[in-house]
Amino acid sequence: MKKAIIQGERRAALIEVPTPQPKEDWVLVKVYVAPMCTEYKAFVSGQPSQFLGHEAAGEVVAVAQPGRVQVRDRVVVMPLYACGQCPLCVAGDYIHCEHGPDIMAFTGSPEGRATMAQYLLKPSWLLPRIPDGVSYEHASLACCALGPSFGAWHTMRVGAFDTVLVTGLGPVGLGAVVNARYRGARVIAVESVPYRVGRARQMGVEAVIDPRDPDALAQIRALTGGIGVDCALDCSGVVAAQRLCIDATRRKGQVAFVGECSDELPIRVSADMIRKGLTLIGSWHYNLSLYPSVMQVIMRSPLIELLISHVLPMSDIQRAFEISASHACAKIILKPWE
């Protein structure tokens, strides 16, 4: 099979590798679409990578034993791997599992874990079915385009009476806008890349504030009667934006973080938390039981098509990474068989 790799700084290519084989409840999925996520960071920094991607949708083409999926099932490939046994996995919060399998030890091959490839291996319980009539492209948005913010808005119970703030309008932030609009919330966003500002406006975001404006916080306060937003979601992973979320949220409001960040964020316990009554939430993905609800957003939201900016053949991997690194895009979807 063919798969995409990063060879070095701004150099991507396709290579030929052995097709993985199904084993026990791990089934073989033919990948029809593979959305791009944060892999461009390795492309830009020149970090070589042989296993790219963690989002996909495709068709089950081989199973080793009877199980919860069958050959010819159309499925979404949930991100990452998990044990399936621990309390977090059993509860559907598999994304937080601490006992991820050693794929090489289990299958005897390094292949099968990358989604930017023609085939992959996945435990069948991480392959929810795609409803009839939903395209692979749209279904794949149940991974990182809509997933992180769906989980966060669900936890914060965001609804039609809420004004929400979204900082960072990459594909995850634009997905947050789609999810918030589906729930009927009023949305304010913070972003500086013109392409993404344009997309947000098309999605009905009421105001898009430039994070470089020194009065960004004052603008958000002015839009909320001086009180602040009910809920904020950082999708940027930038400390200044995380801080803005805390400062722009009203008393007794909620702030969730989905943008990955390893830098420290200073918190003042009295001013930010005790006096303000703020709830801070770390959120990664959504509980598996919420998959049907995520699919409802995909089937019913009029904004869903705006989340996808490019559908490219995987043979165009170099150009796909250049577009991804430019940030002049929403979700980029690769087609591994083209």
Query: Can you give the binding site for Zn ion, defined by CB under 5 A?
Result: 37, 55, 82-83, 86, 89, 97, 99, 144
What's the chain's Rg over C-alpha atoms? 20
Q: How far is the CB of 268 from Zn ion (least distance, A)?
A: 32
CB nearer to Zn ion: pick between 144 and 180: 144
Nearer Cβ to Zn ion (86/239) = 86
d(CA 154, CA 295): 14
Burial 179-205 (b: 16+ CB within 10 A, else e): bbbbbebbbbbbbeeeebbebbeebeb
- Contact between 29 and 122 under an 8 Å Cβ cutoff? The reply is yes
Q: Shortest distance, CB of residue 16 to Zn ion, whole angstroms?
A: 25
Give which of 44, 31, 37 is closest to 284, Cα–Cα: 37
Nearer residue to Zn ion within complex by CB, 75 or 185: 75
> In the bound complex, what is the minimum distance in angstroms from residue 250's beta carbon to Zn ion?
31
Q: How far is the CB of 148 from Zn ion (least distance, A)?
A: 8
Q: How far is the CB of 49 from Zn ion (least distance, A)?
A: 14
Judged by beta carbon, residue 87 or residue 225, the one nearer Zn ion is: 87
**Cβ of residue 325: shortest distance to Zn ion, in angstroms?**
16
Q: What Å distances lie between residue 269 and 60, 85, 238, 311, CA to CA?
A: 50, 37, 20, 46
CA distance 208 to 204: 10
The distance of Cα 74 from the centroid of its chain, to the nearest Å, equals 20
To Zn ion, the closest distance from the beta carbon of 84 in angstroms equals 6
Residues 237, 168: Cα–Cα separation, whole Å: 8
Give the shortest CB-323-to-Zn ion separation in angstroms.
16
Pick the closer one to Zn ion by CB: 146 or 220: 146
Helix (H, G, I), strand (E, B), or coil: what is residue 99? coil
CB of 81 to Zn ion, least distance (A): 9
d(CA 271, CA 276): 6
Identity of the residue, 88 or 281, whose beta carbon is nearer to Zn ion in the bound complex: 88
Per the structure block, which two tokens stand in for 96? 């937080």
Q: Please identify, using beta-carbon distances, which residue of 42 and 86 lies nearer to Zn ion.
A: 86
Q: Which residue lies nearer to Zn ion by CB, 112 or 147? A: 147
Supply the DSSP string of 118-171, one letter for each residue. Answer: SEEEEEGGG-PBPPTT--HHHHGGGTTTTHHHHHHHHHHT--TT-EEEEE--SH
**Counting Cβ atoms within 10 Å, is residue 277 exposed (0-12), middle (13-18) or buried (19+)?**
exposed
Q: What angle do CA 299, 79, 77 make, to 5 degrees?
A: 55
Tokens (6 digits) for 246: 């805390």
Residue closer to Zn ion by CB (options 89, 235) is 89
